[in-house]
């Protein structure tokens, strides 16, 4: 059986918030459906389209922007390039005009109320995040496809592994932390070096490095914008943005017109423990406030947990004076390998595993990456990842109002701080004496996910989600 092959660019995808599983995934599914219609030369024969959202996509779909994502995806828009300022306005135009252009080419009548169905009480067995697209044609036949958004922007159909498998031979086919360790010991390569060797099977090394730096550029822009944008987050919870105020306090009201001078100013603030904590929290808040506002973010490995890795990477850049391309590539490459081990051995979908699968995994990724960049051994890297996840086990996903805001945004700050702590512990420890392996904690996380009640798996049916009275329809 072929091994699952996951690239850096599978774990880190550029997209639009607020959710990789509920926004980016359904958006990609809609694009795939349009591609299917185009390949079969059916686009011009469409009379009507219906969209059926099941399970978690139905229950928290409005709060997570699933409705927006599928409409833009069917309209031929791409989340990497689409103007984020036009996300909500374009969907409002579709609603008001009751018209949609499929693939940007075929205009049809479309009713948001009648043609987009939220099946709150129905769930498909393959995965909780399911969406079915139905196209009714002018010859009275129909085409129907069902897609599953399995976390981190990955989309599959049942018995279809197209998005995560490649027909190539990797020099280091790895499914587990133990296999990773064996390959590192046999070759003497760092984890990041081994990852880049595998990436060369898909594309030239320079192309990979340029792609990683493009990912970092998006992260930079997201952090900077989030730290300099005030206001209230959309969705009805009236959550006020905090990153910009925290940033102003950190810099004593001074402003800087570009990222580089801003980084220098933060670095000049010193290394007081409280100041560092404020900075890390600010970085994480900034990303996830952007995410909650339909901003452009990078899955890391998901949108809901998109602030952890950027916050820890920014901490490394600022407080370890490592604003260097090679160190940034090293950080992101190492993080991607840790994330892929969790995806292969458990899940990165909150709808499958609760928030441990998102914040927990992102914290483990960040901890491992920081450890390697600070000079830790391969065993210390894996130890750091294990420590970070061990202290997220059982974390539930209970978004208030079905929105990726409370408790999601603050959880990114906690995941980032835990990652830094885990890295420090690992660097000061002998990993040969560790009692719990990374593979053991991955397995435990998956067992915990399977035991977890469904109401704690991104359904907004339990936990904090039912403790705050709201009038939102998905609650």
pLDDT for 474 beyond 50: no
Give residue 468's pLDDT band: very low, low, confident or very high (50, 70, 90).
Answer: confident
Give residue 167's pLDDT band: very low, low, confident or very high (50, 70, 90).
Answer: low
- 325-345 and 438-451 helices cross at what angle (nearest 10)? 50
β-pairing, 14-16 with 142-151?
A: unpaired
Of 113, 69, 51, nearest in space to 294 by CA:
69
Which of 9-18, 159-168, 215-224, 446-455 has the weakest average pLDDT?
A: 159-168
Q: Quote the tokens at residue 268.
A: 């000049």
pLDDT for 166 beyond 90: no
* pLDDT at residue 204, as a whole number: 97
pLDDT for 159 beyond 80: no
Please state the pTM of the whole predicted model.
0.92
pLDDT for 460 beyond 50: yes
DSSP state of 232: B
Backbone angle region of 38, left / alpha / beta, with phi > 0 → left and psi within -120 to 50 → alpha: alpha
Q: Quote the tokens at residue 402.
A: 């079905």
Tens of pLDDT, residues 388-432: 999 999 999 999 999 999 999 999 999 999 999 999 999 999 999
β-pairing, 46-54 with 116-119?
A: parallel
What's the length of the chain?
A: 475
Tens of pLDDT, residues 230-246: 999 999 999 999 999 99
Give residue 250's pLDDT band: very low, low, confident or very high (50, 70, 90).
Answer: very high
The average pLDDT across 38-57 equals: 96
Tens of pLDDT, residues 15-47: 999 999 999 999 999 999 999 999 999 999 999
Tens of pLDDT, residues 1-10: 345 899 999 9
Listed as own residue / partner, the contacts of 88-95 with beta carbons closer than 8 Å and 24 or more positions apart are 88/234, 88/294, 91/67
pLDDT for 469 beyond 80: no
The average pLDDT across 56-78 equals: 95
Please give the mean pLDDT across all residues of the chain: 94
> Is the Cα dihedral 245, 249, 252, 256 positive or negative?
negative
* pLDDT at residue 470, as a whole number: 60
Percent of the chain with pLDDT over 90: 93
Q: How far apart are CA 374 and CA 254, in angstroms?
A: 31
* pLDDT at residue 23, as a whole number: 95
The average pLDDT across 255-279 equals: 96
* pLDDT at residue 471, as a whole number: 46
Of 131, 142, 8, 159, nearest in space to 70 by CA:
131
pLDDT for 164 beyond 50: no
Which of 122-126, 278-282, 312-316, 334-338 has the weakest average pLDDT?
A: 122-126
Q: How far apart are CA 232 and CA 348, in angstroms?
A: 29
């Amino acid at each position: 059986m072929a091994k699952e092959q996951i690239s850096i660019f599978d774990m880190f995808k550029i997209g639009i918030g607020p959710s990789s599983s509920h926004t980016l995934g359904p958006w990609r599914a809609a694009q795939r459906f349009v591609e299917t219609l185009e390949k079969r030369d059916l686009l011009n024969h469409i009379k009507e389209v219906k969209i059926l959202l099941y399970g978690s996509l139905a229950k928290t779909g409005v709060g997570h922007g699933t409705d927006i994502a599928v409409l833009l995806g069917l309209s031929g828009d791409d989340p990497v390039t689409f103007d984020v300022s036009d996300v909500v306005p374009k969907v409002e135009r579709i609603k008001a005009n009751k018209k949609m252009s499929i693939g940007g080419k075929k205009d049809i009548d479309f009713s948001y109320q009648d043609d987009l169905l939220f099946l709150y009480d129905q769930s498909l067995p393959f995965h909780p995040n399911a969406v079915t697209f139905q196209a009714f044609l002018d010859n009275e036949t129909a085409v129907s496809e069902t897609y599953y958004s399995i976390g981190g922007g990955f989309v599959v159909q049942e018995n279809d592994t197209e998005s995560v498998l490649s027909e190539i031979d990797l020099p280091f086919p790895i499914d587990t932390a133990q296999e990773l360790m064996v390959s590192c010991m046999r070759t003497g390569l760092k984890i990041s070096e081994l990852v880049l060797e595998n990436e060369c099977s898909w594309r030239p090394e320079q192309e990979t490095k340029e792609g990683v730096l493009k990912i970092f550029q998006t992260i930079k822009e997201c952090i900077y914008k989030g730290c300099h944008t005030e206001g209230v987050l959309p969705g009805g919870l009236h959550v006020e943005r905090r990153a910009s105020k925290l940033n102003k306090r950190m810099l004593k009201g001074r402003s800087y017109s570009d990222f580089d001078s801003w980084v220098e100013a933060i670095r000049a603030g010193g290394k007081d423990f409280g100041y560092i904590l404020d900075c890390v929290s600010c970085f994480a808040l900034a990303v996830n406030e952007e995410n909650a506002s339909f901003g452009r973010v990078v899955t890391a490995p998901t949108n809901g947990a998109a602030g952890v890795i950027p916050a820890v990477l920014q901490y490394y850049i600022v407080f370890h004076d490592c604003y260097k391309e090679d160190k940034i590539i090293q950080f992101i490459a190492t993080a991607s390998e840790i994330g892929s081990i969790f995806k292969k051995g458990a899940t990165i979908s909150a709808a499958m595993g609760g928030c441990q699968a998102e914040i927990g995994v992102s914290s483990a990724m960040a901890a491992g990456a920081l450890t390697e960049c600070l000079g830790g051994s391969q065993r210390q890297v894996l130890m750091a990842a294990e420590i970070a996840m061990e202290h997220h086990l059982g974390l539930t996903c209970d978004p208030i109002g079905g929105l990726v805001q409370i408790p999601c945004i603050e959880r990114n700050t906690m995941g980032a701080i835990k990652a830094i702590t885990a890295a420090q512990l690992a660097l000061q420890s002998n990993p040969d004496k560790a009692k719990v392996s990374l593979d053991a904690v991955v397995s435990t996380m998956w067992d915990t996910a399977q035991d977890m009640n469904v109401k704690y798996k991104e359904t907004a049916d339990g936990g904090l989600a039912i403790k705050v009275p709201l009038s939102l329809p998905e609650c």
